[in-house]
């Protein structure tokens, strides 16, 4: 646990040692703000809630999370620092956990910096702050699940661009699995069981249910198992490929 | 303190390291010589536990690096080939991180950091990002990282590569000064280095040990360059 935290701390300070963190944060906040007001029609709806804001998150994460996760292991393998890391008295699990934790905390910082949205909506009306809190937690869980997946895919390759594309595609599949685009054809050709399974694997399904103010056990279990399975796959992949 | 038994590594059909056996005792500085691609780095990667051997075992202070990796890694300082480091960090932050991971705390940590910075002369670049440093300084950061916890076993992959003659001299002096209570393995393809710092030399080519003896016995065979060429291109020479 101690090692995991030391590694997370180093990784996180690495973000802020270069412009990466600041560029990411500015881009993230600009995009979140602009799209909420212009694309999602936040004012025009005339309802005091953050639903249009949170509805954007799964889509924005498709670009932002791979940008964050692509370097996690690909860079470590490319620059050879993985050899240093793996010969320090640190287990592979601690290393994978530490780097993931740093990325997740960073995405949490970015998410927390959207607090002016919350201030705005409370200034304009009387929103259900319980729903907003649940949605924030949901968005944070989504970021965690997607980052874990991204960290696994970043371990697969030394090339950060490939890691980005792989993570983007995997994320896109997981988002689209809950849309009519996938569900309607699936319903026509397969059983209800498959359709329900597909739906339950979708980021959108879980985000929608959390967006109604209820964090269901199934959603928690979904994100927790996504994180654990992805990180386990990351450990196995690194063990096999660390030296290649 | 280092025991290597029949260490073998195959990459697919390629046998990069072929059943190497040797031990290094406390106070010994073993020079690992060989042409490029001889298997020096691969052997070192197996000694340090980064690569799993296809066959054979490596032990550090009695701990098998495959069976008890944590115990082995704690006793070990390693400078990997090319001295990789987190280049966006400063040497100060980087060494601080290594100290934390090595479990150094409080006054011990401060004392070790100060001592190592002095030993490898890093004081003037301590707060500059590593990526902006010259090759020589980068190598010294890697060296500092390896000796920070004052390990019993030191494995150095080309520690003087990229250094100017003065820096080479200093690093060799440093290695000699640490040699008394450590077992040190270093790889090099600079023959004079073996004479300058090593108490023993092993020459490998195509993954096999071709010579194992003192630098003096190597030098007794004639000019080093010629002996090296003869050994690595010709037949096996009986060890003394």
Considering the domain architecture, whether residues B42 and B31 belong to the same structural domain is answered as yes
Considering the domain architecture, whether residues B40 and B156 belong to the same structural domain is answered as yes
- Structural domain contains residue B101: yes
- Structural domain contains residue B239: no
| Candidate from B51, B70, B101 with C-beta closest to A243 | B51
**Band (A113; pLDDT cuts 50, 70, 90):** very high
Q: Do B93 and A17 touch (CB under 8 A)?
A: yes
| Candidate from B76, B89, B97 with C-beta closest to A6 | B97
Considering the domain architecture, whether residues B166 and B222 belong to the same structural domain is answered as yes
Average pLDDT on A160-166 reads: 95
Nearest Cα to Cα of residue B95 among B136, B53, B73, B126 = B126
Walk along chain B (240 residues) and give the pLDDT tens digit of each residue. 899 999 999 888 888 899 999 999 999 999 998 888 888 899 999 999 999 999 999 999 999 999 999 999 999 999 998 899 999 999 999 999 999 999 999 999 999 999 999 988 899 999 999 999 988 899 999 999 999 999 999 999 999 887 888 888 888 988 998 998 899 999 988 888 888 899 999 999 888 888 888 888 888 887 877 888 888 887 544 444
Q: Do B50 and A86 touch (CB under 8 A)?
A: yes
Nearest Cα to Cα of residue A105 among A93, A113, A95 = A113
Last residue of one domain, picked from the residues B150, B180, B195:
B150
The residue among A6, A83, A241, A244 with the most chain B CBs within 10 A of its CB, best to mutate, is: A83
| Candidate from A6, A81, A90 with C-beta closest to B86 | A81
- B142 CB contacts (<8 Å, ≥6 apart)? B79, B80, B83, B84, B85
Considering the domain architecture, whether residues B131 and B201 belong to the same structural domain is answered as no
Considering the domain architecture, whether residues B112 and B160 belong to the same structural domain is answered as no
- Structural domain contains residue B238: no
CB B168 within 8 A of CB B192: no
Considering the domain architecture, whether residues B156 and B227 belong to the same structural domain is answered as yes
- Structural domain contains residue B70: yes
Inform me whether the C-beta atom of residue A244 falls under 8 Å from chain B C-beta atoms.
no
- Structural domain contains residue B240: no
State the pLDDT at residue B235. 52
What domain range includes position A28?
2-241
CB B75 within 8 A of CB B60: yes
| Model pTM score | 0.89
Number of domains in chain B: 2
State the pLDDT at residue B193. 86
- Report the chain A residue with the minimal C-alpha distance to residue B127: A17
* Angle (nearest 5°) at CA A4 between B63 and A57: 145
Number of domains in chain A: 1
pLDDT tens readout for residues A181-204: 877 887 888 778 888 787 777 888
pLDDT tens readout for residues A9-30: 999 988 888 788 899 999 999 9
Please check the confidence at residue A161 and state whether its pLDDT lies above 90: yes
| Candidate from A3, A83, A243 with C-beta closest to B84 | A83
- Structural domain contains residue B83: no
- B101 contact residues in A (CB cutoff 8 A): 3, 6-7, 88-90
Rounded CA-CA distance B120/B133 in Å is: 14
What domain range includes position B106?
90-150
Cα dihedral across residues B134, B137, B139, B142: positive or negative: negative
| Candidate from B73, B82, B145 with C-beta closest to A89 | B73
Return the half-sphere exposure (C-beta side, CA atoms, 13 A cut-off) of residue A135: 25
Inform me whether the C-beta atom of residue A75 falls under 8 Å from chain B C-beta atoms.
no
3-state secondary structure (DSSP) of residue A89: coil
Considering the domain architecture, whether residues B157 and B142 belong to the same structural domain is answered as no
- Structural domain contains residue B10: yes
Q: Give, for B52, the enclosing helix (H) or strand (E).
A: none
Residues of chain A above pLDDT 90, percent:
50
Inform me whether the C-beta atom of residue A1 falls under 8 Å from chain B C-beta atoms.
no
The whole-angstrom distance between residue A173's C-alpha and the CA centroid of its chain comes to 14
Q: What is the ipTM score, two decimals?
A: 0.89
Please check the confidence at residue A242 and state whether its pLDDT lies above 90: no
What residues are paired with B220 via a beta bridge?
none
**Per the structure block, which two tokens stand in for B95?**
């060494």
Considering the domain architecture, whether residues B62 and B119 belong to the same structural domain is answered as no
We report the CATH number of the domain holding residue B206 as 3.40.50.300
Distance in Å from the first CA to the final CA of chain A? 28
Last residue of one domain, picked from the residues B129, B150, B171:
B150
Considering the domain architecture, whether residues B56 and B168 belong to the same structural domain is answered as yes
3-state secondary structure (DSSP) of residue B146: helix
Provide the Cα torsion A92, A174, A157, A101; round to 10°.
-30
Considering the domain architecture, whether residues B124 and B94 belong to the same structural domain is answered as yes
Considering the domain architecture, whether residues B214 and B180 belong to the same structural domain is answered as yes
| Candidate from A18, A80, A90 with C-beta closest to B84 | A80
**A163 vs chain B: nearest CA distance in angstroms?**
20
Q: Do A17 and B89 touch (CB under 8 A)?
A: yes
Rounded CA-CA distance A136/B128 in Å is: 39
Q: Do A6 and B80 touch (CB under 8 A)?
A: no
State the pLDDT at residue A149. 95
Average pLDDT on A212-220 reads: 84
- B158 contact residues in A (CB cutoff 8 A): none
State the pLDDT at residue A84. 94
Q: Do A84 and B145 touch (CB under 8 A)?
A: yes
Rounded CA-CA distance B96/B102 in Å is: 10
Strands B2-11 and B14-24: antiparallel
Residue B238's CB: how many other CB atoms inside 10 A? Answer: 7
State the pLDDT at residue A233. 96
Cβ contacts from A onto B, under 8 A: 64
Last residue of one domain, picked from the residues B98, B121, B150:
B150
CB B215 within 8 A of CB B29: no
**Per the structure block, which two tokens stand in for A188?**
């026509």
Strands B208-213 and B200-205: antiparallel
State the pLDDT at residue B239. 44
- B89 contact residues in A (CB cutoff 8 A): 10, 13-14, 17
Average pLDDT on A61-65 reads: 91
Best-predicted range by mean pLDDT among A36-45, A125-134, B76-85?
B76-85
- Structural domain contains residue B80: no
């Amino acid at each position: 646990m101690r090692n995991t935290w030391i590694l997370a701390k180093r990784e996180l300070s690495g973000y802020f040692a270069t412009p990466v963190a600041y560029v990411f944060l500015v881009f993230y906040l600009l995009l979140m703000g602009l799209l909420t007001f212009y694309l999602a029609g936040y004012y025009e709806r005339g309802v005091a809630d953050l639903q249009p804001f949170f509805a954007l998150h799964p889509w924005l994460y498709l670009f932002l999370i791979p940008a964050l996760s692509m370097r996690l292991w690909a860079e470590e393998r490319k620059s050879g620092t993985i050899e240093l890391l793996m010969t320090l008295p640190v287990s592979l699990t601690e290393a994978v956990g530490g780097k993931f934790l740093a990325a997740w905390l960073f995405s949490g910082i970015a998410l927390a910096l959207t607090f002016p949205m919350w201030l705005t909506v409370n200034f304009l009306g009387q929103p259900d702050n319980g729903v907003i809190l649940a949605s924030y937690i949901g968005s944070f869980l989504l970021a965690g699940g997607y980052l874990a997946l991204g960290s696994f895919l970043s371990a697969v390759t030394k090339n950060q661009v490939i890691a980005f594309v792989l993570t983007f595609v995997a994320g896109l599949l997981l988002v689209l699995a809950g849309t009519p685009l996938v569900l309607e054809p699936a319903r026509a050709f397969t059983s209800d069981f498959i359709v329900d399974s597909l739906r339950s694997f979708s980021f959108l399904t879980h985000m929608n249910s959390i967006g109604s103010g209820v964090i269901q056990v199934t959603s928690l279990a979904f994100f927790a198992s996504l994180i654990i399975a992805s990180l386990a796959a990351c450990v196995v992949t690194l063990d096999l490929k660390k030296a290649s | 303190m280092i025991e290597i038994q029949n260490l073998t590594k195959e990459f697919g059909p390629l046998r990069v390291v072929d059943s190497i056996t040797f031990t290094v005792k406390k106070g010994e500085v073993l020079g690992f010589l060989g042409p490029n691609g001889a298997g020096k780095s691969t052997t070192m990667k197996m000694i340090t536990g980064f690569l799993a051997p296809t066959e054979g075992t490596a032990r550090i202070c009695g701990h098998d690096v495959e069976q008890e990796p944590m115990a082995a890694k704690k006793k070990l300082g390693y400078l990997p080939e090319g001295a990789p480091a987190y280049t966006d960090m400063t040497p100060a932050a980087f060494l601080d991180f290594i100290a934390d991971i090595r479990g150094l705390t409080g006054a011990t940590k401060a004392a070790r950091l100060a001592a190592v910075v002095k030993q490898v002369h890093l004081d003037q670049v301590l707060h500059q990002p590593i990526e902006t440093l010259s090759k020589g300084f980068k190598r010294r950061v890697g060296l500092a990282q390896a000796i920070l916890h004052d390990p019993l076993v030191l494995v150095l992959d080309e520690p003087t590569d990229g250094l100017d003659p003065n820096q080479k001299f200093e690093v060799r002096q440093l290695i000699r000064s640490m040699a008394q209570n450590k077992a040190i393995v270093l790889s090099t393809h600079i023959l004079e280095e073996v004479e300058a710092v090593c108490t023993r030399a092993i020459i490998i080519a195509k993954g096999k040990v071709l010579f194992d003896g003192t630098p003096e016995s190597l030098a007794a065979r004639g000019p080093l360059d010629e002996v090296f060429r003869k050994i690595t291109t010709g037949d096996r020479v009986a060890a003394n």
